[in-house]
Amino acid sequence: MSDDPRQSGLLLPIASLPGPFGIGDIGPASWRFAETLRRSGQSVWEVLPPHPSAARFSPYEPASAFAGDPLLISPELLVEDGLLRPQDIATPPPFPTDRVDVAAVSAFKRDLLKKAHGNFLRDAGQRDWDDYRSFLVANAEWLQDYALFSALKDQFSGASWLSWPAEWRDRRFRFGADGAKALGEAAAFQEFLQYLFEKQWTRLRRETAARGIEILGDIPLYVSLESADVWAHRDHFLLDADGRPTALSGVPPDCFNATGQLWGTPLFDWDSLRRQGYAWWLHRLERAERLFDWARLDHFIGYVRFWEVPAQDKVATRGAWRKGPGADFLAAALARTARLKLVAENLGVVTPAVEALRRRFGLPGTRVVVFDAKNPAGKLPSYPENTVVMTSTHDTPTLTAWMRSRGRGSGARPEDASRRWPIIEQALRSKARLVVSPIQDILGLGDEARINRPGVAEGNWTWRLAPGALDDESLRRLRELTEESGRSPKGQGAEVRDEL
């Protein structure tokens, strides 16, 4: 790692980008943010998982480990491709600019996407059809299951697949039954949405690469029970004969949570996966390699050992540690995804076995400034080279909120957000391979801009960056510190201005 350039970047979920359509998307707004990154001397954009959510809009409860979220599809690019008319998107509803109204955005986007699908079926030329069919063939392994699962979810009004009629729940269906035509059309619509996402994401990869920006994504360890993956691959998970989890995921009690955290997702049957050569997981990593340049292995500890909670429990207290797949899995993963730069999210109770596994495969570990800073002034430890440092994360208070909470009663001035800059500078000047700051930390935003509060069920993941919030002075300061610390890519010295 010592020969690699030291880099820095920003974290901003795509859904949090500003724009007129109620949610950020992977169209021109993303390209403009990539340009902002370039102009401020950054080379990495962390985007969080871009998969559809099965619950509470959380990207860490994905309805598919492979699909892209249709809510991130850009209406502007649909107009550019001739699938919508300019007047179709000229007067969007008056969405809030500070958060995502998920229900309203979903209804608005669904109408637009239905119209785009109809226009494609009516007007697409041979080249477009050939491209579409090639996509269907190349992604059939996961796409057909996801499309049918999503169509059935709609047919049964969002009910859990565990409550579906047995022939659908247990995948013993025959398409000759009544309603098969409508179901087939609904599944074809879902396949079309994934085609649009793939096409637009490929464009995003080109636009970011042209600006010298690499995308850092995230691979959640678990998927939701209400996912196409669990429905289609029950043998990969610890489930009973009816498909219900026999145990749930979580973490044990600690100093932050007296009863631990009950995540509630099914656990993998790692013995079954091992017998199959980890095929599903390897396909998942290959998919990540198509989406990202970097990928953070969320909850890396879980690959060494995982906390198993009895399925009937409501808290994580009575769980037990079970052995994860360890080196056997990681060796197969790294052999299959040589180009993808993997990062171990080794936060929490990191045992010697966890660190030994990480070091064995040379994976960068993760450190978080708001956990490491020793006092309100922010004295940081010396970070080793093979490390990804984050000033804060999507799960923590922002850097400014942390300083305010630490400054109370200490004689410091908790309201002074400018005190964030010396802490950010320390992180940038460290030996760490990569430093990532959430955009909230650069702008000095407090708890009002927090993305997620672990353990709180509602109100998360919907924060949006206000239009015009990227003030020139903060971005200019970031560029100066990045250049002074030797992290700015050569030739990225252009004037910074708010591109959004």
Catalytic residues: 298, 345, 395
CB-side exposure of 400: number of CA atoms within 13 Å? 18
The helix (run of H) or strand (run of E) holding residue 429 is helix 420-429
Phi, psi of 138 (to 5 degrees): -65, -25
DSSP state of 90: S
Q: Is 427 helix (H, G, I), strand (E, B) or coil?
A: helix
Judge whether 317 and 260 are in contact, CB under 8 Å: yes
Residue 223: which of 249, 261, 251, 242 has the closest Cα?
Answer: 249
Residue 320 pairs in a beta bridge with 308
CA pair distance 479, 469, nearest whole angstrom? 17
List the 320-323 sheet strands across, edge first: 261-266, 247-251, 305-310, 320-323
Judge whether 229 and 422 are in contact, CB under 8 Å: no
CA pair distance 165, 159, nearest whole angstrom? 11
If you search the block for the tokens 């030797």, which residue do you land on?
486
Scanning 252-312, the segments in alpha helix (DSSP H) are 270-275, 279-291
DSSP state of 277: T
The dihedral built from the CA positions of residue 227, 231, 234 and 239, taken in this order, carries a sign that is positive
Cα three-residue angle 278-284-286, rounded to 5 degrees? 100
Which amino acid is it at 469? A
The dihedral built from the CA positions of residue 187, 192, 196 and 198, taken in this order, carries a sign that is positive
